[in-house]
Amino acid sequence: MEEAPTPRTVTALTVFLAFLRQGLTAFGGPTAHLGYFRTEFVERRRWLPETAFADLLALCHILPGPASSQLGMAIGLRMAGLPGALAAFAGFTLPAAVVMIALAGLAPLLTVHIGNGWLHGLQVAAAAVVAQAVVQMARTLAVGPVRAGLAIGATLGLIIAQGPVAQLMVLAAGGVFGLALLRTPDPLSASDDPAPAVDTGGANVALGLFALLLVGLPVAASLLANPGLGMAGVFYRTGAMVFGGGHVVMPLLEREVVERGWLDAQTFVTGYGLVQALPGPLFSFAGYVGAAQTYGPGGIAGGLIALFAIFMPGLLLVVGVMPHWDRLKHQGWARGVSAGIGATVVGLLAAALWDPVLMTAVRRPADWALVAAAYVFLAIAKAPPWMVVIGFAVATAVFLP
C-alpha cells in the first residue's frame, strides 16, 4: 500500500479543492459523509491509513460539534496544519452555505415537499454509502472476538437506546473494555502519522479561546447591547453543546431562535427541509437561520455570523485536543482505549445505518432492492459515490415522482 504523504506534500490549496469536491457531492447527511471521507482520503488519495482515520473518527465522536465537519477539519489539520483545517472547513461548507444564505431571502415564497422522488434517490444512495463504510471499517476495526463483540453490542445498544447521551456512554464503555482487554504494543511509530503543525502551546491557546468565547460572547453582547454579538453567542453556544451530529442541531436551534421570536416556525422548518436536499454539512442550516432571522443583522452578514459562530467551537476543539490525542494514543493503555472506541464506532455507524438512514430510505419492500443495487454499484462495480448518488436521484425522480 502506498504510504500516507507527509504534511509537506499536501498544501492547504490541495486540501481545499479535495473538500470542495466533497462539499459539492457528499449528499446524505453526516453519517454518509463519513463514508465519503473514508472512500476519498483512505482509499483514493491514501492520505491516511485506516487506523489513523479511525483514530480521528473516534476523537470527533467524543468531542461536541458536527462530527463529519470536525473529521474534515482534523484531516486538514493532519495534512497541512491550521491552514489545512481552515481549508477543509471552507471547502466542505462553502457550497451548501452559499445556497442556504441565498435561499433565506426567498423563504416566505418557498413551498418545499420533502420526500419527492429525487430526494428518495438521495436517501437510498446514502444508505448504500453508509453500508459500504460499515462493512469496510468492520474488516479493519472489528477483527477478533472482543472487537466484534464490542461492535455488535454497540449496534444493539444504540438501536435500543438512541440519542447523544447513549452514544457517549457506548463510546465510554468501548474505551473501558479496550483498556481492560485490548492493550497492545503500538503498531505505528509517531512518524507513521503526519503530525499536525500545532504544538501543545498552540493547542492550549485554542482550548482557552474556546472557553473564553463561550463565556465572553454573551457577556459582551449584554454589556454592549449588540444584537450581532448576541446572535453570535447563541449560535456559538449551540455549536458547543451539540453531541450526536447535525440532526441534533435542529431542536437546539429551534429552542434558541424560534422560541425567542427571531424566526417563525414555518420558515425554520422550510429551511431545515431544504438543507436535507443539499450536499455538505447540515450545520450550514445555521447560515439560513442567521440570514432569515429578525433579531440580528440578517441577510448575508447575519448568515455569515451564524455560520462561523456555530462551526467555531468544533474547530477550536479539534485544534486544541489533537496534539494531546496524538501524544496519548501511542501509549499501550491508550491504544487499548482507542481500539475499543474504534470497534464501538463501527457499531455506532451500524446503528445509524439502521436508524435513521435505512428507516428514512426504505419506505416499501422494493426499496430494499434499490439499496442493494446502489451497494452493488459502489462495492462491486466500484462506481464513484457521487455518480451513484446523482444517478439514483435522477432515476427515482423519473420513475418514482
The domain limits of the chain are 7-185+199-401
- What is d(CA 280, CA 287) in angstroms, rounded to the nearest whole number? 13
Tell me: the pLDDT tens digits for 148-180?
999 999 999 988 987 667 877 888 899 899 889
Name, in order, each residue with C-beta under 8 angstroms of 148's C-beta and a sequence gap of 6 or more. Answer: 138, 142, 343
pLDDT along the chain (401 residues), means of 10: 51 96 85 87 90 84 84 94 95 94 72 58 80 83 91 92 77 89 64 61 93 94 91 91 65 78 79 78 90 84 94 95 81 79 84 80 89 91 81 81 59
Angle between helix axes 67-104 and 299-329 (nearest 10 degrees) is: 180
Q: How far apart are CA 178 and CA 334, in angstroms?
A: 9
Nearest 10 degrees: Cα torsion 70, 238, 91, 1: 10
Q: What is the DSSP string of 288-340?
A: HHHHH-SSSS-HHHHHHHHHHHHHHHHHHHHHHHHHHHHHHHTSHHHHHHHHH
Local structure of residue 195 (DSSP, 8 states)? P
Looking at residue 341, its pLDDT comes to 82
How do residues 173-213 score in pLDDT, each as one tens digit? Answer: 998 998 899 877 655 544 455 555 578 888 999 999 999 99
Structure confidence at residue 1 (pLDDT): 40
Say what the pLDDT of residue 247 is.
Answer: 59
**Angle ∠(365,366,371) on CA atoms, nearest 5:** 105
